[in-house]
Amino acid sequence: MMLAEQYKEIRDMVKKFSDSEVAPLAQKIDHEGHLPKEIIGKLAENGFLGSYVPEEYGGAGMDYMSYALIVEEISRNCASTGVFVSAHTSLGIWPILNFGTEAQKKKYLPKMAAGEWIGCFCLSEPNAGSDAGSLTTFAEDKGDHWEINGVKNWITNGKEAGVCIVFAKTKKTPDYKGISAFIVETSTPGFSIIKEEDKLGIRGSSTCQLAFDKVKVPKDALLGEPEKGFRIAMATLDGGRIGIASQALGIAQGAFDYAIRYTKQRVQFGAPLSDLQGIQFMLADMSTKIGASRLLIYHASSLKDAELPYSKESAQAKLMASESAMWVTTKAIQLCGGNGYTKEYPVERYFRDAKITEIYEGTSEVQRMVIASNELKAVH
């Protein structure tokens, strides 16, 4: 699948930004465990925090394919910065853009596109991960407002967020049927960060446990229809999974590029490693997995842009890209040998960053459930 000219221009523009602004900070972001404020400002200035928000709401008016390219190119140098963009855009902005009222869109989208309010997505809980429908956070109808109580886990951008998309039951059902979605501002009394996780990878991205303790929100904080929140969560994750697939692709491409350069300059047995057929075979397999991931991502993105069903395809893209990223980064360390295992070289960071892509926004097992369920429904 060839990229149309317009996308090549977008890719070149993001590539330049990523190589000049993100790459020099990537090791520091990993070591220090947070994103510098300047980088968030520069992401916003370049339109990367509101890429597919229409211009009338202050965004860059691009499409989903462009967004996928942005996440890939940024993640090629820094996966923490990549997921910051991805979670904010596809999990924070998209549900408001698609399910919000005109008033909600006008209130939130311009500030989110400008990076003044960062978005996060509060679905998972201590006892509700893959089984998202079993969540227990509750929003009680108090007549003139809602009162939300519960704890949310593994929330990307939890520390930076100004706006949370919160899934809470408004009817006490054991399954997904009682779930509604809300837009909650983090300045609301009763919202707090319980803890920030200390993680293996994406160390510059915040992952928080959040408390909602008698959080009082207005009636119009409800997003979409009551008790239709699970559909909003699932539809949002369909798009989010393209973002994480793009992050995984960027990680794999970054590790691969580094390994290629390394094998060309590393001399053993009197010649560069890249002269050895055993090494070339490894590079060929890495390249093929990266190519297959890229095609699945472009395919899912183009279906989404064409407003065609893409749930199965986004799960396939995420499954392929995340498992490929884990495989490619493992090989990248192998190719760099002892050096690759040290923190002086960036491949160990790519390896640590790759692992999460097989877990968040649905584990590889959840992607397989989504793919299989779509296939089983399609054939009679």
DSSP β-bridge partners for residue 140: 147
Closest distance of CB 57 from ligand CAA, Å: 23
Closest by CA position to 152, among listed 166, 141, 133: 166
| Contact with ligand CAA (CB under 6 A) among 108, 212, 351, 360 | 360
Candidates 153, 150, 148, 145; CA nearest to 121 is 153
Binding segment toward ligand CAA, per CB under 6 A, in 4-12, 152-160, 265-273, 281-289: 152-160
Instruction: Return the structure tokens found at 140.
Output: 């009680």
> Does the protein bind ligand CAA through residue 133 (CB under 6 A)?
yes
Minimum Å gap between C-beta 273 and ligand CAA is 38
- 155 near ligand CAA, rule: CB under 6 A: yes
Q: How far is the CB of 177 from ligand CAA (least distance, A)?
A: 7
Kindly state the greatest CA–CA separation across the chain: 79
Residue written as token pair 């928000």: 53
Q: Is 366 in the site for ligand CAA (CB under 6 A)?
A: yes
* Residues labelled as active-site residues: 361
**Binder among 231, 266, 299, 368 for ligand CAA (CB under 6 A):** 231
Cβ of residue 129: shortest distance to ligand CAA, in angstroms?
A: 7
Interacting positions 85-114 with ligand CAA (CB under 6 A): 87, 91
Residue 169 has which token pair?
């039951």
Candidates 65, 109, 123, 184: give the one binding ligand CAA (CB under 6 A): 123
C-beta of 7: minimal distance to ligand CAA in Å? 26
Given candidates 99, 108, 154, 182, which one binds ligand CAA under the rule CB under 6 A?
A: 154
Q: How many angstroms separate the CA atoms of 243 and 254, rounded?
A: 16
Phi, psi of 362 (to 5 degrees): 100, 120
Rule CB under 6 A: choose which of 21, 160, 238, 313 binds ligand CAA.
238
Measured at the alpha carbon of residue 281, what is the angle toward residues 354 and 254, in degrees to the nearest 5? 30
Q: Please say whether the dihedral angle defined by the alpha carbons of residues 165, 231, 323 and 13, taken in this order, is positive or negative.
A: negative
- 369 is a site residue for ligand CAA (CB under 6 A): yes
- 230 counts as binding ligand CAA under rule CB under 6 A: yes
CA distance 302 to 294: 12
- Could you tell me the smallest distance in angstroms from the CB atom of residue 133 to ligand CAA? 4
Which CB, 160 or 348, lies closer to ligand CAA? 160
- State in angstroms the smallest separation of the CB of 175 from ligand CAA: 7
Q: Dihedrals φ, ψ of 361, to 5°?
A: 55, 35
The yes or no reply on residue 124 touching ligand CAA (CB under 6 A) is yes
Size of the site for ligand CAA (CB under 6 A): 25
Strand 161-169 relative to strand 179-185, pairing? antiparallel
Quick one: tokens of 240?
């989010």
Q: Does residue number 370 form part of the binding site for ligand CAA (CB under 6 A)?
A: yes
Reading the block at residue 260, the tokens are: 């290629």
Cβ proximity to ligand CAA: between 43 and 237 the closer is 237
Residues from 283 through 312 that contact ligand CAA (CB under 6 A): 311
How far, CA to CA in Å, does 322 sit from each of 22, 130, 204, 283?
22, 17, 19, 18
Residue 8 tokens, joined = 């090549």
Two tokens, residue 353 = 């960053």
Burial class (CB in 10 A: 0-12, 13-18, 19+), 272: middle
d(CA 171, CA 139): 8
Nearer to ligand CAA, 135 or 333 (CB): 135
Among 132, 148, 208, 297, which residue sits at the site for ligand CAA (rule: CB under 6 A)? 132
CA 177 to chain centre: 26
Residues that bind ligand CAA (CB under 6 A): 87, 91, 121, 123-124, 130, 132-133, 154-156, 176, 230-231, 234-235, 237-238, 311, 360-362, 366, 369-370
